[in-house]
Amino acid sequence: MRRLTADGAAVAFTYGASAAEADKLVSELSAEGAKVVAIQADSADPAQVSNAVEQAVAELGGLDVLVNNAGVAVISPIDDFPQEQFDRLVAVNIGGVFAAIRSAVAHLGEGARIINIGSINADRVPEPGLSAYAMTKGAVASLTRGLARELGPRGITVNNVQPGPIDTDMNPDQGEFAEAAKGVVALGRYGNTSDIAAVVSFLAGPESGYVTGANWNVDGGFTA
């Protein structure tokens, strides 16, 4: 989001529980001259997702780019996978993406962009317990390709960014699985969120107008 505001975009984003953190981010970016709106929404609830899209359109005066970045991860063997965790995994990682796009398309015109944030685990599952998570990200990749066909005649591009090991709260570069992951990555290290932001910035901009239906692996050679 910081990259998009630096590019000159007015941005609305959703958050789950931490209103204080969301307000802090809005204050920081607003102080830099950006227009930023924070909207509380549970990505597992289609009605809340739809309301968030409508609120964003009302606050910003329109919608040109949709970035689907919400996601959860659950690592568990299939024979011991709690049903409620599976249901939320699917609701957020697939249902939330679908709900956001379904609500947004009414507001997107010629030249608009839809950018999904998937995972390299859609293509490669390096460890046991990731099957369900990989399934949800594979669904996002398939949805991206299908919608590229569906929305192409309207001049809307749809792309999917598939991060590999990236240093985040969900997957820190000093975490439990970090050393094993670094051993698989061709560059031998984790990436940074700025690596993902750079690709999102490109896909949101004018130079990506002939790019659609693509899965962009930003993985340091994880799949090489």
**Strand (E) or helix (H) holding 140:** helix 131-151
Query: No. of H helices and E strands in the chain?
Result: 8, 6
Q: For 205, how many CA atoms within 13 A lie in the half-sphere containing its CB?
A: 13
The catalytic position among 15, 133, 190, 210 is: 133
**Among 134, 135, 112, residue whose Cα is nearest residue 212:** 112
Q: Is 133 a catalytic residue?
A: yes
Answer whether 127's CB lies under 8 Å from 111's CB. no
The contacts of residue 19 (CB under 8 Å, 6+ apart) are 38, 40
* Residues identified as active-site: 133
